[in-house]
Structure 1
Amino acid sequence: MTQSLPLAIIAGSGSGLGCTLLSHFEKNGYKVIGLNRSLPSTTDFDIRVVDLTDEKATKVVIDTLIKEHGAPKVVVHNTAQLEIKPLADTTCNDFEACWQSMALSAFILAKSLMKPMVDNGGGTFIVSGATASLRGSANFSAFSSAKFALRGLTQSLAREFQPQGVHVVHSILDGIIDTDNSRSLHSLDPNKMMKPEDIADVYFSLCQQAKSTWTHECDLRPFDGNF
């Protein structure tokens, strides 16, 4: 183990919010490592390719990271799989894939990292939620049910591990994140989208909170968002 900087692990470190989180935490004094199903097309970060729904593969990667750098002080679970279909067109595979991508991967990540974080004096574990964490809209049966499950899992983790020193946060991202992909799919004014840099700034501030005033759940949205 050679680490001198605190470690931040970003699970779901694609080219949008994920890589922005890596950049933000690196600029603020962290050793950053991403976990992703595939490598982004362009990146200068250390990203380990792993299927986070595979418990054995994830444990191998996590054990290696802890051996190399020590237990993380920050973990962000930022994986998602968006399915927008009428119920009649949603297959069992669609439904299960959403659950695996979000709820199962968070369960496996927490199971791999909570004990090492507790043993290392604690840290912060942030889970990225969405509008669908609170409201099941039409055509979102697979996605919303998975986000609801993810929120419940995060609450359970908070009640088990916050007394042991791990600050567990569920962050509801109630809006469209401004990325190249979202601009190609939506006709929204980019000025009314959520800026990845601003989300990253909030996530970093959550990691700095005093233990007497920990936030468990926060909701972030553009200034003119409907809620």
Structure 2
Amino acid sequence: MNRTETALIVSAGPGLSASLARLFAKEGMQVALAARDTAKLAPLVDETGAFAVACDASEARDVESLFAQVSGKLGVPDLVVYNASGRYRAPVGQIDAKRLRDAIDVTAIGALLVAQEAAVGMLARGSGSILLTGATASVKGLPGSTPFAMGKFALRGMAQCLARELAPKNIHVAHFVIDGGIASGAMHRDVANAPDALLDPDAIAREYLHVHRQHRSAWTWEIELRPWVERF
């Protein structure tokens, strides 16, 4: 009898995280959701039967507690998705050092803390996937986007290092370059003059599941996703 998989989504909310939770639950996975404010997750928890845990991913103690709670209730995660981003942008002359550190803590340091905890359990079991959500700023710096790009470039570098370190141990690490805006709420499928100008979060979620389920003889460490009308 096949073992039920457990998926953990860190920085859960509307949009992509919600689409991931719905898809994973539909596929028969046990789902755990982590967010600073779990009250906002109540409708999604009711819909998917997910286990919600309050967590500030930039705090090591919170991340340790998160994995202890999820592992204790659902077992060591088979799939961990890190979606958190410090979305701080400012022109170079106006970058505030504290806000910059806070943004990098969320985007990059938090990702490392989550990946560390995920790797410990996965290595002990001998399998697992760690999927990290990047952005256009992961590969292309833009004017006024220095703080955001610094965090996302760090995330991508970390993903590449971890993929090379953990792949030989049967842990699949992959980085997703989400090159465009993600439709959510009223914007979802409501772009009258520009069909498909925003990425459909349900379509993105299916790609995450596809990468998780790739045969290990044909793994990818990075995938770029963008609308067909997006320039790149």
Q: TM-score, normalised by structure 2?
A: 0.90
Unaligned runs of 5+ residues in structure 2 are 46-50
User: 1:24 & 1:139 partners in 2: Cα distance?
Assistant: 35
Q: Matched residue of 1:126: which SS?
A: strand
Instruction: State the shift of 1:24 in Å.
Output: 0.7
- Structure 1 runs of 4+ aligned residues shifted over 6 Å read none
42 and 57 in structure 1: CA distance in 2 versus 1, 3 angstrom threshold = closer
Bigger CA drift: 75-84 or 193-202? 75-84
User: 2:36 & 2:152 partners in 1: Cα distance?
Assistant: 19
152, 164, 168: which one pairs with 2:157?
152
**RMSD between aligned residues:** 1.8
Decide whether the 8 Å contact of 1:5 with 1:31 is kept in 2: yes
User: 1:31 & 1:103 partners in 2: Cα distance?
Assistant: 26
Residue identity (%) = 28
The answer for the alignment partner of 1:72 in structure 2 is 77
* Structure 1 letter corresponding to 2:163: A
1:41-85 Cα shifts (integer Å, max 9, x gaps): 652323211101110121012112112221111110111121222
Decide whether the 8 Å contact of 2:92 with 2:146 is kept in 1: yes
- Number of residues of Structure 1 aligned to a counterpart in Structure 2: 222
Q: TM-score, normalised by structure 1?
A: 0.92
User: 2:100 & 2:106 partners in 1: Cα distance?
Assistant: 10
* Structure 2 letter corresponding to 1:159: R
Q: Matched residue of 2:44: which SS?
A: coil
Decide whether the 8 Å contact of 2:58 with 2:105 is kept in 1: yes
User: 1:152 & 1:164 partners in 2: Cα distance?
Assistant: 19
User: 2:178 & 2:5 partners in 1: Cα distance?
Assistant: 26
Instruction: State the shift of 1:188 in Å.
Output: 7.6
1:80-138 Cα shifts (integer Å, max 9, x gaps): 12122212222012211111111011111011110211212211110010000001100
The answer for the alignment partner of 2:111 in structure 1 is 106
Bigger CA drift: 217-226 or 60-69? 60-69
The answer for the alignment partner of 2:18 in structure 1 is 19
